[in-house]
Structure formats: C-alpha cells, structure tokens
Amino acid sequence: MGKKITILYEVTPKERTETPPVVESQEIAPISAPASAVAATSTEGKRPQHAQLHESYTFERYVIGDNNQFATNAAQAIARNPGTAYNPFFIYGGVGLGKTHLMQAIGNYINEKSNSKIIYISAGTFIDEFVAAIREEHTAAFKNKYRFIDILLIDDIQFLENKWETQTELFHTFNALYDAKKQLVFTCDRPATELKKINERLRSRFERGLNVDLQPPNYETRCAILKKKLEPLEITIPEGVIDLIAKNISTNVRDLESALTKLIAYSDLLGKPITVEIAQQQLKDVFASPKQSNMSIDVIIRVVADYFALTPNDLKGKKKTQNIVYPRQLAMYIAREITEYSTTEVGQSFGGRDHTTVMHSCQKIEERIRGDPTLDSTIQTLIRMIKEFSAKA
C-alpha cells in the first residue's frame, strides 16, 4: 500500500456469545483453510476475468499465420512458464497487427491458470500515473504497485520516448521484477534498436530478452481472420465477399475488422443479405485508398533493397555509404509518390528518421531526375515491381 498499516483481527469461538476484545498484532501466522473450503474453491470453475484484460484476447481467438507463428509460439511458451525464459518479451510491428491481442492473451492464460498478480497498462497511462504520484507525493505507493507483482504487461512502449524521468522509474522497476524472475512483456511499433529518445540502459534491457516482429498477414491468413471474426456472430457471409475483402485490404487486422463491421451493420440495419455486389459498393472508398491497397512501406523497402542487392536493414540502418544512401533516398521518394503516408510516417519506417530527412531525400531524387532522364524509367520499373510483389502477398 506504500505506507505503514496496523492490522487488527478478532477470533470468535462458536461457544462464546460475547464479543471478545480486539487484539492488536504486528505479525499474523498463516491460517489453513478448512478442507471443505478448499474443496468448494476447486469446484468453482474458471477464475474471474482480469479487470484490465479484454476477455476476447485469447490464444484461441488469435489467428496464426506465417506472419506471426514464431511470435505466437513464443508467447504461448511464456504463458505456460512465465519468468523462466524469454524474459523480457518484446513484440514489435505496425498498427493493427495483433500486438495487444498477443500480449493480453499471455495475461489471460496466466490469470486463468494461476493466482499471479498481473498488471496490464499502456505506456501513456503508466506515464500519467507516475506524474500524478510525483505531484501528490505518493511515489512509494507507485513503486510498490509495480515492483511487487508477477506479470507486467506494458503496451506501446514507444510513447516513453523523451520521458526521461519515467524511463528511469521503469528501468528500476524492470530490474526489480527481472531479478525476482517475474515476467515482463512490452509492445512497440518499431524494434527496440530504433527507439531513439530512450535511455541507453533501458533500451539494452528491452533487447536483453526475446524480440519478435509481426508482419502484415498474407492472403490466406486474412481470409482466416475474417472467418474467425464471424464465428461468435453466427453470421454467414459468402466466400466471394471474404475473398474480395482479403484481396483488397492487406494493411492490418484492424482494417479487415472495420470493413467487416461496416458490411454487417449495413445488412443488419437494412435487412439485406451481404453479396459481392453490395460489398463492392459499400467498400469502394476503402478499397480505393492507397493505404488500404497492397502498398506498404515495408514492401517498398524490400523491393528496392533487392533491386540494389541490399537488405531492408541496410536501408533502415545508419550507414551513409553512397551505395546505401542513394537506394534509401530512392525508396523514400517512391514511398511518398505511391502512398499517402506523411513524411513523418515514412521517416519512422526508415529507422526512425526525422521528416526533414525524408524531404531532403525526395529533393535529391527530384534533382537527379532532372539531370538523368533514365532515372525516371528506373523508378517506374521499381514501382511496377512493388505492385507485382504486393499483388502476390
């Protein structure tokens, strides 16, 4: 509780009718529950749902594909034996790829199988709580809340960037839990190595355990996700509609759910069955959006890197040799040309670079195009290759 407390207890034997005096104690011996009570507890069934965890975020509801199989297997191993291996567990990937679901699935599994003390919290809320604790002079209570638990799950750790005091507090909390062999799980929108405004010693802690990434789902996985979402709703949607959505939306799970929700709402409110024609009409704006097309910055990076006999990490890394800088600038230019991502979003995809770096890269390529007419042909070839690669995904 973060402060000293006085514990009082009283014992009332059945044969006595008067109320015994209250006895103050500094130490309480453990009390064994009666056999009948133990038996009753064992037959109560499932433990209550954890207040901070979403009940639908379970391993059973998580669709496994090539994009997340390794991460899922690791998460299940951690859930079965928390704190023994793969600690900390760092999950990273783009928006809507299932990071939060996978993290909470770990928490839900452990909560169902044990009496472990679990805290799930977003990094933003963690920051707010810490600031409030300092303001109200309750830092001791804050420390005790987070350092005497079994499982700590923190979502969207990237929001800790530039929050130096909060980072220091998390660093000490991390050490306390890690040394006590308690499980830590974090999610982030990028690899720990690309967190720039993070204390070096905290970043090294994130990298100490197992780091896994989640990629956008392929076509087969997208179909499986849509069917999985329909199961509890008891709604039938033609295979042609599933195929249409899966082929036209490849960005993330959240966008797939959004399209499905829109069609279900249309059918429910108007009392009409969902057909391919209705789906095409209702989702035409979604399909037309560049961000919803099979065009992602990761695909652009991969194709450009292959074209120049490099790796995606070369384009995302810090090396500034000419054989890497030019392809990197070219990839940034193409990303701005064929997607609607902002310079800030493009920069983040290239190793957390500043938006001014993206603008400078685009200007450099435009200058080269004016001086080298053949470069435009190269760019168009790369764009065609990117679209062909996306269509196969």
pLDDT digits (tens, 9 = 90+) for 256-303: 888 999 999 988 888 888 899 989 888 887 776 555 444 688 899 999
User: What predicted TM-score, i.e. pTM, was given to this entire model?
Assistant: 0.63
Domain ranges in the chain are 69-214, 219-292, 297-392
Look up tokens 């007419």; give the residue: 373
**Do 297-392 and 219-292 have the same topology in CATH?**
no
Residue 332: what pLDDT?
A: 95
Beta strands in the chain (DSSP E): 7-9, 23-25, 89-93, 118-122, 151-155, 183-188, 210-214
The residues pairing with 155 across neighbouring beta strands, listed in sequence order, are 122
CA atoms of 317 and 173, how far apart (whole Å): 30
Residue 189: what pLDDT?
A: 83
CA atoms of 241 and 227, how far apart (whole Å): 11
What lies within 8 Å, CB to CB, of 83 at 6+ separation is: 150, 181, 182, 183
Work out the pLDDT band at 93, boundaries 50, 70, 90.
confident
* Torsion over CA: 194, 199, 201, 206 (sign): negative
| Class at the top of the CATH hierarchy for domain 219-292 | mainly alpha
Torsion, CA 128, CA 129, CA 134, CA 138, rounded to 10: 160
What lies within 8 Å, CB to CB, of 64 at 6+ separation is: 72, 221
CA distances from 378 to 34, 198, 331, 370 (A): 79, 38, 12, 14
Residue 315: what pLDDT?
A: 94
Architecture of the domain defined by 297-392:
Orthogonal Bundle (1.10)
CATH number at 69-214: 3.40.50.300
pLDDT digits (tens, 9 = 90+) for 138-194: 999 999 999 999 999 999 999 998 899 999 999 999 999 999 999 999 999 888 887
Q: Which two tokens stand for residue 375?
A: 């470069």
Residue 291: what pLDDT?
A: 52
